[in-house]
Amino acid sequence: MVKDSLLEFTRRHPDLKYVFFGGKGGVGKTVMAGAAALWYARQGRKTLLASTNPVHSLSALLGQNVFGAERQVGGVPGFYAYEIDTADTIKRSKEEIREKIRWFLKYADIPTESDAFVETATMNPSFEESAMFENMINIMFEDKYDVYVFDTAPTANARRLLGMSRVYSLWVEKMVESRKEAQAMRLALSFRKKQEKDPLMDYLISFRSRIVQANRLLTDASRTAFYFVTLPEALPIAVIRRFIGWFHDFGIPVGGVVVNGVIDPGVISTSTSEFVLNRVLMQQEYLAQIRDLFPDVRAVVPLFETEVQGLRMLERVAQVLFRNSSSA
């Protein structure tokens, strides 16, 4: 099933720097992201494992608190992790928007309170993704690490999160054009005919520059890859089948598919329970379906005899995740 493994794909993309893991909830995204980050750190590359999922589980996975700040993981050199505080991110984003609106109302000589405008700006359904996107981009722009591995929210949220660069691009272009028209009209109606400094335009141009840079990073196939994680089951397969097409449409490079939680048929014996036999049979049917649907399966990770928690188990997952195709 694995013809071009994650290891071989990674070797063919030596400049890969931004690695995302997504998929339906409960398929093992956090575990795969953790194992990949540990593997990169073991290669001598300073690596940040960051979670943009509002329902965090990195701290539980690693067995140490990494919530709200970047912290080194255990005794592994170059391995850092960070659970982004969603509530704090949204709070700070609201404050920033409040300041911008206050400043704009003052600049435009509009005598009204900003609270109603702030509520309107922050009540839209995608505000949380917008705030998390800004936070994620800030982390990427700091450029403190050799590799960034992101554990994303379930795919629908990840789709909105990464799609924000496209949404922002369209919005900011419209805003810049509108502002230019307003400037031209203001100049035409002015007696002084003097071009005045426009802080709002300065902000829009600066913001557009950030979005262009973010879009460039997120669509650069040499530096960015989004891996979809699935179980050999109907619903997770259907989810990633639908969303892989969307990611292609938005120019976000898809690195491939990782299949998780596969029961090894080699463990079957005459004493194997009917329950396990049925699960193995079901998985084999879905594995055949995965083989037909996705030509870029990078790894098949077994269902381990115990849950994956702590560095020792992550090491085991990493060994499977990054093994050669010939041994997969």
Report CA-CA distances (Å) from 279 to 74, 158, 161, 180. Answer: 36, 30, 34, 63
Rounded Cα–Cα distance for residues 128 and 112 (Å): 26
Whole-number pLDDT of residue 137: 86
Mean pLDDT for 95-122 is 66
Bridge partners (DSSP) of residue 257 are: 228, 297
pLDDT, tens digit (0-9, with 9 covering 90-100), for 252-277: 899 999 999 999 988 888 899 999 99
The SS3 assignment for 258 reads: strand
pLDDT at 209: 82
Phi, psi of 40 (to 5 degrees): -60, -45
Give the list of residues 6+ apart from residue 214 with CB closer than 8 angstroms, or none. Answer: 137, 140, 141, 165, 168
- Rounded (5°) CA angle 8-27-323: 20
pLDDT at site 328: 61
User: Taking the model in full, what pTM does it have?
Assistant: 0.84
Residue 201 pLDDT greater than 60, yes or no: yes
Kindly give the pairing relationship between strand 47-51 and strand 18-22.
Answer: unpaired
Percent of the chain having pLDDT more than 70? 79
pLDDT tens figures, 136-165: 888 999 999 999 999 987 665 556 666 666
Which pLDDT does position 242 carry in this prediction? 87
Helices (H), 43-79: 58-62
Note the pLDDT of residue 250.
78
Q: Quote the CA–CA distance of 20 and 254 in Å, as a whole number.
A: 9
Identify which of 156, 126, 299 has the alpha carbon closest to the alpha carbon of residue 236: 156
CA–CA separation, 232 and 278 (whole Å): 13
Tens digits of per-residue pLDDT, 52-95? Answer: 877 778 999 999 999 999 999 988 999 999 998 878 877 877 77
Q: What is the pLDDT of residue 116?
A: 65
Cα–Cα distance, 282 to 130 (Å, whole number): 40
